[in-house]
Amino acid sequence: MLKKLFLSSLVILFILLSIALYRTAIHTVSVKGTIAGEVIAIDELRAIQNLSASIRFKTISYQDKEKFPFEEFNNFIKWAAATYPEFHQAMEIVQLEHSLLFKWQGSDSTLAPILFEGHHDVVPIIPGTENLWQENPFAGAISNNRIWGRGALDDKSGVVGLMEAATYLIKKNFKPKRTVYFSFGHDEEVGGSGAALITAKLKEEGVQLHWSLGEGSFVNKGFFPGVDKFVAPINVAEKGSANLMIVAKAKGGHSSTPPQRTAVTILAEALVKLEKEPLPGSLEGLSAAMFNEVSKHMPFGYRFLFANRWLFGGVLDSQLSSTPIINAMIRTTTAPTMLNGSVKSNVLPIEATALINFRLHPRDTTESVTDHVRRVVGSNDVEVRFLGGREASEISSWDSPGFKIISSSLEKVYGQVVSVPGLMIAASDTRHYSQVADNSFRFNPFSIVPEDMTGIHGTNESIDIDSFIAGIKTYVEIIREGSSN
């Protein structure tokens, strides 16, 4: 009997293993030739110097509108007009506050337009970190094959790169068939009121875009374990955000005679419960599409796991959740940020509060997140207050013309690139423009390595010169293809 049982388990194991191995073998890509693009001879030196010059304008945006250095913004706008005369002459220009909308009329007005967007404001330098910079953050230094300074990646390379690319096409006498808009916001980092104004203007004119492309993720190498090719996560959605206040209540009094449970310990317990029970997340929909594609380029071990999610789904989910950046892609994240208790060392608080910031995965809503938190921690002693938030964006199609044009343009410039749909973890101006677009993509065609990430909003922001040039060439391809089809 036992022997029979042992034998049949062995047979089942053998069958499972064969299926898993077969699935791994077909979980791969056939080697295909890359699409050859024509040689794009942009004036590289000029483009590099222009990005460097653009960084010298201290176009810093602040939450407090009074603090905006508007003189710097005006000077930047004048500089752009003087530096890119062909671009400015070819377009109809509308300035709304310090944001700019350019319209390049297409020959076929029956076709829906496309839009490319960026922003010329930058975040400030964190006080106290100035001397950690290798180069002055507003000098636009060019050294070690890099261009340095605030905005080098976020997002003056985008704005300058788009003007360079369009200028190249204008000089080649290229005429778009589909109308092309370029939009450069002046306060993306503090909410994007400029992008909202431009979106309202487009709505007013009855413009419905075929698709739009704004800042987002980058072409990268070295972010995914074992993948030695360029990966381009083209973001097709953007996470939402919600702030919730957890209020723990208890009797106040003198700290010399504390009760067993104080407002602070009740609050602490609530926070621990939330940490232990995060919002559910797993590989499905968008995240599944992304990892399914990337994993085909991974070494055997990873391919074996990803090809057999039916068998290893649970292991994979918990493995992926342990890396903060991947965890953020597959679920709504929970981040307690601000705490408050008593005002005095010898006074027991009657209320202790924690503000928790959630970043919403498209599968969740502000309402479902609030319900989750109430279910996990709500009680007579703990109140959950919803302070405000924004829903995640709609998910754009990665089987649509815009996505395909972006990925084929990348191949023309970079050679083999694994283009996959991605999820934008941070917020961007696209949440405004997407209101008037059939599909919206959030992606910069510049390539970065993991170390470059700390520069964005941090210290030593800089862009590799070859990556900047490759990005401009990709923009040329995207604008040309996008406006011709």
- By CB under 5 A, name the binding residues for Zn ion: 154-155, 215
Of residues 294 and 427, the one with the C-beta less far from Zn ion: 427
Q: Could you tell me which residues come within 8 angstroms of residue 350 by beta carbon, excluding any fewer than 6 positions away?
A: 249, 250, 251, 252, 263
Query: Distance between CA 462 and CA 136 in Å, rounded?
Result: 11
Shortest reach from residue 29's CB to Zn ion, in Å: 32
Is 441 within 8 Å of 234 (Cβ atoms)? yes
Shortest reach from residue 201's CB to Zn ion, in Å: 21
Q: Which of 382, 383, 389 is nearest to 367 (CA)?
A: 389
The torsion angle over the Cα atoms of residues 253, 254, 255 and 259, rounded to 10 degrees, is -40
Is 148 within 8 Å of 134 (Cβ atoms)? yes
| Two tokens, residue 157 | 């390379």
- What residue type is 26 in one-letter code? I
Which class for 7: exposed (0-12), middle (13-18), buried (19 or more C-beta within 10 A)?
exposed
Exactly one of 154, 164, 188, 317 is catalytic; which is it? 188
Of residues 135 and 155, the one with the C-beta less far from Zn ion: 155
Shortest reach from residue 479's CB to Zn ion, in Å: 20
Shortest reach from residue 426's CB to Zn ion, in Å: 8
Exactly one of 72, 117, 121, 364 is catalytic; which is it? 121
Q: Which of 385, 380, 328 is nearest to 355 (CA)?
A: 385
Does residue 97 have an active-site annotation? no
Strand order in the sheet with 146-148: 142-143, 146-148, 462-464
Of residues 214 and 240, the one with the C-beta less far from Zn ion: 214
Query: Distance between CA 176 and CA 209 in Å, rounded?
Result: 15
Does residue 121 have an active-site annotation? yes
Shortest reach from residue 428's CB to Zn ion, in Å: 6
Shortest reach from residue 154's CB to Zn ion, in Å: 4
Strand ranges in 363-474 using DSSP code E only, listed in sequence order: 382-390, 417-424, 437-448, 462-464
Alpha-carbon separation of residue 465 from 161, 179, 459 (angstroms): 12, 30, 18
Catalytic residues: 121, 188
